[in-house]
Amino acid sequence: MANLRKKIIYLVLFYFFSCAAISQTIKVGVVDYPPHVNFNEELDKSPLIQYMDGALVLSNHRFKYIKLSRARASVELEEGRIDVLMPIATVKNKMMTLPSPIFYAIPGLCFKKENFIPILSATHRFNDLIIGFPANASLVSTLENSEANLIPLRGGNAVNRGIELTQRGRFDAFYHPSPVQVYHRNNPNYKEVACSYFHGYSAPIYLAVANIEVFNLINSAYQEALSKQ
């Protein structure tokens, strides 16, 4: 009888601690990635936040979204101050990501409309052009191996500053990691530019996690949501 009581107590304690673990708050670090995540509006209005909330409907889990700069985001994940980081294009060593990208970005170039080059495979057209690009962006080999003069832009709002400098004639073109980062309502200059993209290139954008426990939790829910879609 005593052994039965012990077993019941152990089961109750196991259930209690399991529920406590399941009801934890998952801290999600997010970086500015318009229009998917836009720091100029409430985070819960950003399309990626809404999408992930729908895909990761986990019973008894709460998500706390934390705005982070790109420079600080991966450090916060590596040091365990956040559980999840999104969206992330460059995956560092030892960084764990979901196996399925959350979306793909297609890079290209934006020009003043009168200087538009629609076929970016004609790389001789890049000769002597001054082309700006976000300093943390991965350049496609077609552009990197061209004879263009490539100028990195550091700091926040690189896309908007690049478009502005293109409009002012300081750049001949601006490299964008994805056209959706340019063509959206919160970019007041999008109507003044014409953007094309590099055929055959696409960059997976990931959701990164801090450890295997969070990975198993998030990945199972996300894969289930993908299978339903």
| Spatial separation of the C-alpha atoms in residues 208 and 220, rounded to whole Å | 14
What domains appear along the chain, each with residue ranges and CATH number?
Answer: 2-102+204-228 (3.40.190.10), 107-201 (3.40.190.10)
Residue 1 has pLDDT above 60, yes or no: no
Q: Please indicate, yes or no, whether the overall pTM of this predicted structure exceeds 0.85.
A: no
Average pLDDT over every residue of 128-146? 88
Instruction: Report the pLDDT value the prediction gives residue 21, as an integer from 0 to 100.
Output: 45
Write out the DSSP string of 53-78.
HHHT--TT-EEEEEEE-HHHHHHHHH
Q: What beta strand segments (E) does 158-202 contain?
A: 173-176, 193-197
Sign of CA dihedral 180, 184, 189, 193: positive
Q: Report pLDDT digits (tens) over 3-38.
A: 434 333 333 333 333 444 444 788 999 998 877 888
Task: Give me the percent of the chain exceeding a pLDDT of 70.
Answer: 81
Of the candidate ranges 78-87, 179-188, 210-219, the one whose mean pLDDT is the lowest: 179-188
DSSP bridge partners of 121: none
At residue 188 the predicted structure's pLDDT band, cuts being 50, 70 and 90, is low
